[in-house]
Structure 1
Amino acid sequence: MTAAPVAARLLAFLTRLITGVRARWVGSAPTSAQRVYYANHSSHLDTLVIWAALPAPLRARTRPVAAADYWDRPGLRRWLACEVLNALLVDRSTGSGSREALHRIDQALAAGDSLIIFPEGTRGDGTSIGDLKPGLYFIAHQRPGVELVPVYLQDLSRILPKGEVLPVPLLGSATFGAPLTLAAGEDRHAFLQRARAALIALGEPT
């Protein structure tokens, strides 16, 4: 066995141990169906928490979408991204970056991969959810057979505040909701509003 699978199991264990994050499946259950997990974004922990919350067989075929300018650097960072997390690195630094990113995402979905994305496009403050970028609609339109699963992440920005390197001993949660698909005749604006509302609803008290 190579080092990467061992490191992946260890990383998943440490993520669950350090963050104390509880995975709650309220509108869906872990399944081998191809999915895009889309979530609110407020912490460097977000990707790891979703990835670690999945059963090991699903982790093996679920790829986080990550920025190449941060992760594609020689050394440990690239090894973790490419070998351990099997991340899909996309370059948004050029004028055609968004288009190229969507092309690479579509290629990965065509190959049967599941993905983890953050459609707000930037990190939020951990209390509100911004408007979602059109890329999520592109996926829903191009790949109608892929389930889009909202994941609401709570308190991760408090566990690892921006600019900090050591986690705070708090409990967070990752709530997985019911899968979404594009409705017949639904336009981009209506779909993105519905997808955002699904995320917000998962974070409301029950």
Structure 2
Amino acid sequence: MISRLLAALSKALIGAYPRWIGSQPEPRQRIYFANHASHLDTVALWSALPPFLRRRTRPVAARDYWGGGGLKGLIAGPGLNVVLIDRQREQADADPLKPLYDALAAGESLILFPEGTRNPEPAMLPFKSGLFHLAQRHPHVELIPVYLDNARRSMPKGSLLPVPLICTVRFGAPLVALPGEDKAVFLQRARDAVQALAP
């Protein structure tokens, strides 16, 4: 019920219109990785997926922001079934990616924002290494770059209410991780693949 309401609100407020460029909405296990400019990004990308994909696709979010109670907890838990990660390690040897590995091992798809934080500028920040490690550990999972167009203006960082604008969600061709590829080279290729989808 909450999931359907979130999808309907997203469509009503910002459109979240999907454009599939080089890939199609198919029942494959995937990591959708996108630019990050707004609080609406997660809901917009998730809502742009057809319902049969939404059911097996879990956004990744920071526990310190989304892991509490109240409205955010309702959205993150029953609404989106997010995978929560700890940005601050309590134990030095703890792997913050373990919840993501577990979700992928269970056959679920993920929505990931490799910049790591919302970025108000048009040019994306460098990607953090998590996407590389996920691709190395789960090479069978398809990597789909996504560009969220207009989300920055719909609800920019610091805004409390969304502005009703049309947001287009552009899904690109799968990115293939190459055997033995250097981490920095892979992350730059991934960033370039998202940027190339910008209008």
TM-score range with shorter-chain normalisation? Answer: over 0.9
- Quote the Cα distance in structure 1 between the aligned partners of 2:195 and 2:152: 17
Indicate the SS of the match to 2:143: strand
Question: Relative to 1, partners in 2 of residues 1:180 and 1:124: Cα closer, same or farther, differing over 3 Å?
Answer: same
Structure 1, gaps ≥5 residues long: 1-5
Contact 2:115 2:124 in 1 (8 A): yes
Alignment partner, residue 146 of structure 2? 151
Task: Give TM-score, length-normalised by structure 2.
Answer: 0.94
1:27-46 maps to which residues of 2 (within 5 A)? 27-46=22-41
- Residue of structure 1 aligned with 2:85, choices 78, 82, 90: 90
Indicate conservation of the 8 Å contact 2:16/2:47, yes or no.
Answer: no
Candidates 54, 58, 66, aligned match of 1:59: 54
For residue 81 of structure 1, the aligned residue among 63, 76, 83 is: 76
Preserved contact between residue 38 and residue 117 of structure 1 (Cα < 8 Å)? yes
Residues 30, 55 of structure 1: 8 Å contact kept: yes
Residue number in structure 2 paired with 1:14: 9
Is 2:101 the partner of 1:112?
no
1:156/1:111 CA distance change after superposition, 3 Å: same
Count residues with an aligned counterpart. 199
Root-mean-square deviation (CA, aligned residues, Å) is: 1.6
Q: TM-score, normalised by structure 1?
A: 0.91
Structure 1 residues 98 and 78: CA distance shift in structure 2, 3 A? farther
Q: For the residues of structure 2 that align with 1:87 and 1:69, how far apart are their CA atoms?
A: 13
**Alignment-mate amino acid for residue 86 of structure 1:** N
Deviations 1:125-170 (A, max 9, x none): 2411111111111011000000110000111111112222222232
Code of the aligned partner of 2:176: T
Paired amino acid for 1:174: V
1:50 partnered with 2:36: no
Q: What is the aligned-residue identity percentage?
A: 50
Deviation at 1:172, TM superposition (A): 1.9
Deviations 1:9-49 (A, max 9, x none): 12101101101232110110101100000000010000000
Amino acid at match of 2:191: R
Partners in 1 of 2:137 and 2:91 — Cα distance?
A: 19
Displacement of 1:181 in angstroms is: 2.2
Distance in 2, Cα, partners of 1:181 & 1:96: 33
Q: Which has the higher helix share?
A: 1
**What amino acid maps onto 1:28 in structure 2?**
S
- Deviations 1:74-97 (Å, cap 9, x if unpaired)? 233222211121100111122558
Structure 2 match to 1:182: 177
